């Protein structure tokens, strides 16, 4: 076992951990980043499958994500817009397919009016409650004690409107059934993206991509820090701590430092053994932040054939197997790529199938939106973060019912010299790469004494 020392040791080389390391290094502090995997980037992962580049993890940037946009700019990287020209496709619960333009789903007039009313209501709540301390709102306990599913049905008797609005947070963001998380958690999600209207607007929320892939942001940060600083294949097993410092150990090395930043998603905190144990409060609430589950579907075709039909590639169907589909063609490529998402219980059902049946059912679901040419991709791949030991789900963690107002206020508190940072406990940019950059930088500044 080799022994090393530095000022701050960081656990996890995702965008949070690397942003923290970068900020600390800028201030002249020595850092060591210990990463479990053989790569950096965490839930951002740009890889080649059968010669085709896919964004297996996080990829899109929206205009409000200014911390990430500034970082991308600082690193000299370029962005490009998602292909959005043409009409979208909506599939109703009875399977009816409608081609439409604009943001509002082509549903009956009264359902449209009801959806607009619910969006307005959620916008007001998001603006009032905000992303920083939703637990401080006077009605926090009330909103946290009812599931988003039931809250929507308290507001409206229009089942289709409730289902469609539910999709944007449940399948679309938290990737859990809307019965399992609270209305307060849904409002935090909307507030962290600026408003509920922003979440509904795919032109806003899925605006830009990074040329070369989102993982390259982390790769470049790690290259700047150097291989002596960022150590791969070093899963942290143990943190020994006192009020004055930490000793963080992997199977091969121990690093002693004044402070540690645990930059891993909260569902993995308990994978590390702490000596002495963390206080009762943390031991309890760390059990109540769990990962959602989503399968990101990638399918590449010889050409983006949907464009010839005047379609943008965008499709929505809250009741379908694939609930959202988008054109995900890479910058400068002639072949066309679609990306789709299969969330929570549908994802469970897909993983229970044999590979051939799963592929067929998923391609049939894509074909529902974009026609029979979707059945025959050149390359097909499913991102499987649920099977990744160092993530265990996707996209991120959220509290179970009642957890956010009970424990959210403590989630950013350090324990002695141990700090916590991940997009899962960010305010603005919650669950997104932008939130990871923000909280990584803010945690570094807290350690530097620049922030309280």
Q: Which residues bind ligand FAD (CB under 6 A)?
A: 11-17, 34-37, 42-44, 57-60, 235-236, 263-265, 268, 271-272, 296, 383, 385, 390-391, 394-396, 422-423, 431-434, 436
For residue 185, what is the enclosing H or E element? helix 183-192
Size of the chain, expressed as the number of residues it contains: 452
CB of 250 to ligand FAD, least distance (A): 7
CB of 206 to ligand FAD, least distance (A): 7
Q: Taking CB positions, which residue lies at the least distance from ligand FAD?
A: 14
CB of 369 to ligand FAD, least distance (A): 19
The burial of 252, by beta-carbon neighbours within 10 Å (0-12 exposed, 13-18 middle, 19 or more buried), is given as exposed
Q: What are phi and psi of 276, to 5 degrees?
A: -65, 165
If the CB atoms of residues 122 and 248 are measured against ligand FAD, the closer one turns out to be: 248
If the CB atoms of residues 218 and 312 are measured against ligand FAD, the closer one turns out to be: 218
Report the b/e string of 397-422 with b at 16+ CB within 10 A: bbbebbbbbbbbeebbeebbbbbbbb
Does 410 show up as a binding residue in the annotation? no
CB of 270 to ligand FAD, least distance (A): 10
Does 35 show up as a binding residue in the annotation? yes
CB of 353 to ligand FAD, least distance (A): 20
If the CB atoms of residues 36 and 442 are measured against ligand FAD, the closer one turns out to be: 36
Does 36 show up as a binding residue in the annotation? yes
E-assigned strands of 244-396?
245-249, 253-257, 259-262, 273-275, 289-291, 294-301, 311-316, 324-327, 336-343, 379-383
Q: How far apart are CA 263 and CA 414, in angstroms?
A: 12
Does 341 show up as a binding residue in the annotation? yes
CB of 438 to ligand FAD, least distance (A): 10
If the CB atoms of residues 182 and 249 are measured against ligand FAD, the closer one turns out to be: 249
Contact 370, 338 (CB under 8 A): yes
Q: How far apart are CA 452 and CA 448, in angstroms?
A: 10
Does 436 show up as a binding residue in the annotation? no
If the CB atoms of residues 63 and 108 are measured against ligand FAD, the closer one turns out to be: 63
- The label of the residue with tokens 């982390």 reads 218
The burial of 95, by beta-carbon neighbours within 10 Å (0-12 exposed, 13-18 middle, 19 or more buried), is given as exposed
Binding-site positions read 16, 35-36, 236, 341
Binding-site positions for substrate read 341
Binding-site positions for FAD read 16, 35-36, 236
């Amino acid at each position: 076992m080799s022994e090393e020392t530095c000022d701050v040791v960081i656990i996890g080389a995702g965008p949070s951990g690397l942003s923290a390391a970068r900020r600390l290094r800028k201030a002249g502090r020595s850092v060591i980043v210990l990463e479990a995997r053989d790569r950096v980037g965490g839930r951002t992962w740009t890889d080649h499958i059968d010669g085709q580049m896919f964004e297996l993890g996080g990829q899109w940037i929206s205009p409000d994500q200014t911390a990430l946009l500034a970082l991308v700019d600082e690193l000299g990287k370029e962005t490009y817009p998602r292909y959005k020209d043409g009409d979208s496709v909506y599939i109703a619960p009875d399977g009816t397919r409608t081609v439409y333009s604009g943001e509002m789903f082509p549903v009956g007039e009264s359902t449209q009016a009801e959806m607009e009313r619910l969006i307005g209501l959620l916008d007001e709540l998001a603006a009032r409650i905000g992303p920083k301390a939703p637990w401080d709102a006077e009605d926090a306990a009330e909103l946290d004690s009812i599931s988003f599913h039931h809250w929507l049905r308290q507001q409206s008797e229009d089942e289709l409107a409730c289902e469609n609005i539910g999709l944007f947070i449940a399948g679309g963001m938290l990737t859990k059934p809307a019965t399992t998380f609270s209305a307060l958690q849904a409002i935090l999600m909307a507030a962290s993206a600026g408003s509920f209207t922003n979440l509904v607007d795919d032109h806003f929320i899925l605006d830009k991509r990074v040329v070369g892939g989102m993982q390259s942001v982390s790769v470049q940060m790690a290259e700047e820090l150097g291989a002596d600083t960022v150590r791969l294949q070093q899963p942290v097993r143990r943190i020994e701590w006192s009020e004055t410092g930490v000793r963080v150990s992997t199977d091969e090395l121990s690093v002693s430092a004044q402070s540690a930043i645990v930059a891993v998603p909260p569902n993995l905190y308990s994978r590390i053994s702490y000596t002495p144990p963390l206080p009762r409060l943390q031991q309890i609430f760390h059990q109540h932040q769990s990962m959602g589950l989503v399968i990101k579907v990638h399918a590449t075709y010889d050409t983006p054939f949907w464009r010839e039909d005047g379609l943008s590639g965008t499709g929505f169907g809250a009741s379908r197997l694939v609930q959202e589909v988008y054109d995900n063609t890479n910058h400068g490529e002639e072949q066309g790529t679609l990306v789709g998402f299969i969330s929570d219980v549908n994802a469970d059902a897909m993983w229970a199938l044999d590979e051939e049946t799963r592929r067929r059912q998923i391609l049939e679901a894509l074909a529902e939106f974009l026609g029979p040419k979707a059945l025959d991709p050149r390359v097909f791949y499913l991102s499987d973060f649920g099977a990744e030991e160092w993530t265990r789900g996707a996209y991120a963690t959220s509290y179970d019912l009642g957890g956010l107002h009970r424990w959210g206020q403590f989630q950013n508190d350090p324990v002695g010299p141990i700090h916590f940072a991940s997009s899962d406990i960010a305010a603005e940019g919650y669950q997104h790469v932008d939130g990871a950059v923000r909280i990584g930088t803010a945690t570094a500044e807290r350690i530097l004494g620049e922030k309280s």
